Amino acid sequence: MPQTVVVVGASLGGLRAAEQLRAQGFGGSVVVVGDEPHLPYNRPPLSKESLLGSGPDVTAEELAAGLAFRPRASATGIEWLLGQPAASADLRARTVTLADGTVLPYDALVVATGLRPRRLPQAEPAAGRHVVRTAGDAARLRREVGPGTRAVVVGAGFIGCETAATLHTLGCDVVVVEPFPVPMVRGVGTDVGAALLAHHRGAGVRFITGQGVSELRGEGRVDAVVLDDGTVIVCDVVVESVGSHCNTEWLAGNGLDLSDGLLCDNDLHVEGRPDVVAVGDIARFPNPRFDDVPRRVEHWSIPGDSARRAASSVIAHLSGEPLEAPPFAPLPAFWSDQFGLRLQSFGSPGLADSVEVAEGSLDRLTDGAAVVYRRSGATVGVLLVNIPVARHPHYRSLVLASDQLV
Amino acid sequence: MKVIVDMNLCQDHGQCAIAAPEVFRMDESSRLVFEAEPDESMRQYVEDAIDVCPVQAIFLED
């Protein structure tokens, strides 16, 4: 009997896991399950180029096709079961059950089900409210926006800020509402967040910070947002970018800790199970580059890095060979484009206890600024804003040089 | 092995130059330069560079 690996999740993490199983020599069956009807596609452009470059009639299919990943040539014989989610799993019996009742037995399971957007708690009004995660989300939003559209973006994380910049460029009248004093504070800290706030305001986006949303008004369709202090913002659409939930509910009943993704060891085994690994946004793993605390990392680089190690772990288990590999210590990286600023980060700025501007000035981000983030004196991250890319390796090496690896 | 970069897609992120510095590099003016027909021994690194390109601009032809 050939062995079967079931990969649940058909986005970047699931694709890379399937590719890496083949690249590392797994010759058995690889089945990838995805809830969306599309083959894996690249999500970051959805809040940027995809919205900007499409007309209001664009479909989810067109957006997904335009952003489709090209799988590696070596990734042959992969079975894609798309358009329905996994409903449950029995980790003792080693089966995954799909929404239509199909039961998939496996020898090893790769969990790559990722995140879905959190929503504001108000259930009503339901129409005119958007998130930006999938191609379908982006197509629905694009249909409802154009020059003069009054848009409220709730939540000023990276996706909120990118979406706000994009909607402004499309001619919308945009207000961003954020409970924290500055945007993107979790990713870049207070000082850089304040500088980015000034940049966005300078570009013409209104920001109301230190305020949450207390009420959504409208009959059936949202027509105003009410803030904590009673301010009423009349609007045509609301974009909710208020964080995310891990898609792990389908794993309930197996005795796993599902409080924050899936708890993994450094080889990405889920809670010590040799036949279950996690990949991407939902993998909560210790990174010895920083310390031994398991954390989830919601950066684009992590699905690829974690898929490689998870595939090695699966192949070692299925072949009965020990996994011989150095500690899994990926260097997180993310980028963001906002109003003529290219942000590039290496490492984990969010872990820092001190911040230093190593080059340029936060008052003139457009001219370039490099920010170094340290924890107990060790460089844990850098953020480069409009720094020529030829100099990125230098700053990246600062993080690599001071890692905590033993 | 032939490496092709769609320069209409490339946004000079520079991730390929980190993944495969023997094949890709950013010159002094931060523009991409690359080896169009690298040695076969570079295949794995070119595939890594393809993986990490945020805009999927790199193509590999045999």
Chain B nearest-CA distance from A219, in A, is: 41
Using pLDDT thresholds of 50, 70 and 90, give the confidence band for residue B7. very high
Q: Where are the alpha helices (DSSP H) in A84-206?
A: 135-143, 158-169, 185-188, 190-203
Contact between residue A159 and residue A59 where contact means Cβ atoms under 8 Å apart: no
pLDDT at B29: 87
Omega before residue A71 within 30° of 0, cis: no
Cβ neighbours of B60 in A, within 8 Å: 73
Cβ distance A16 to B51 less than 8 Å, yes or no, reads: yes
Rounded to whole angstroms, how far apart are CA atoms A293 and A297? 12
Q: How would you classify residue A277: left for phi > 0, otherwise alpha for psi between -120 and 50, otherwise beta?
A: beta
Provide the residue ranges of all domains of chain B, joining segments of one domain with +: 2-61
Does domain A4-35+83-116+245-319 fall into CATH 3.50.50.60? yes
Segments of chain A scoring below 50 in pLDDT = 406
Percent of chain B at pLDDT > 90 equals 89
Task: Give the Cα separation of A276 and A135 in Å (integer).
Answer: 29
Q: Chain A: nearest CA to B27, how far in angstroms?
A: 6
pLDDT tens by residue, A29-76: 999 999 999 999 999 999 999 999 999 999 999 999 999 999 998 999
- Give the span between the Cα atoms of A247 and A261, in whole angstroms: 8
- How far apart CA A194 and CA A212 sit, in angstroms, is 18
Q: Which CATH class is domain B2-61?
A: alpha beta
Considering only the top CATH level, what class is A119-242? alpha beta
CA distance to A26, A121, A159, A240, per residue, from A141 (Å)? 41, 20, 14, 11
Q: Where in chain A is the domain with CATH 3.30.390.30?
A: 340-401
Q: Which residues contact A248 (CB under 8 A, 6 or more apart)?
A: A111, A113, A256, A258, A261, A262, A282
The stretch B43-55 carries a mean pLDDT of 94
CB contact under 8 A, B30 and A344: no
* pLDDT score, position A139: 98
- B12 interfacial to chain A (CB closer than 8 Å): yes
CB of B5 within 8 Å of any CB in chain A? Answer: no
- What is the model's pLDDT at position A135? 98
Query: Could B13 and A45 be called an inter-chain contact, meaning their C-beta atoms sit closer than 8 Å?
Result: no
Nearest CA in chain B to A24: B44
Interface contact flag, A393 B17, Cβ < 8 Å = yes
- Please, where in chain A does CATH 3.50.50.60 lie? 4-35+83-116+245-319, 119-242
Pick the CATH number of A340-401 from 3.30.1050.10, 3.30.390.30, 3.40.50.300, 1.10.10.10: 3.30.390.30
Give the helix/strand (H/E) hosting A4: strand A4-8
